[in-house]
Amino acid sequence: MEHASGTDEMIIRQIFNQLAQAWDTQDVGLFSSLFTSDVDYITFIGEHIKGLDANIKLHSTLWNSYFMKGATLEGEILSIKFPDRNTSVMIARGAVKLRFHKKTPVNKLSINTTVLVKQDGVWKICSFQNTRIIGYNIFMRFMMWIDKKMAK
């Protein structure tokens, strides 16, 4: 693992904040400036959005929907790693807070992996994987219980 400069880490943190700002203000220009043209964007439901144009179309549709009007993006960075000096992997946790929520619902939290690359000295998001955080449901707990019993 490479050791990144403090400046690179600061820029990655700014991009995280700019992503939330772009979401909150529905700023398509700012949003699109954060991604590579060939970005892979995986939604929390597993949909694979390929390329910047498709990503912008998806988010514009969301932002223009009645349900998402006034929604904000809440979150925090959990870790930032630099496999090499031109690649960064950021793990963050967050959720969309709808306008009628008083606080961010715990059952809407997601964890995401964001891969950024430095191209011509500029950091951009080239891959984004978003996964809803869910606990073990009753079926999963039952299967784990069966596995423990069978292992004895």
pLDDT per residue as tens digits for the range 11-54: 999 999 999 999 999 999 999 999 999 999 999 899 999 999 99
Burial of 34 (0-12, 13-18, 19+ CB in 10 A): buried
Do 34 and 18 contact (CB within 8 A), yes or no?
A: yes
Look up tokens 């059952």; give the residue.
107
What pLDDT is recorded for position 1? 62
Cα separations (Å) of 41 from 3, 102, 133, 144, 147?
27, 29, 17, 32, 35
What digits encode the pLDDT tens for the residues 109-141?
A: 999 999 999 999 999 999 999 999 887 778 877
What pLDDT is recorded for position 3? 60
- Interatomic CA distance for residues 96 and 59, integer angstroms: 13
What digits encode the pLDDT tens for the residues 58-116?
A: 999 999 998 888 899 999 999 999 999 999 999 999 999 999 988 887 888 999 999 99
pTM of the model: 0.86
Do 52 and 36 contact (CB within 8 A), yes or no?
A: yes
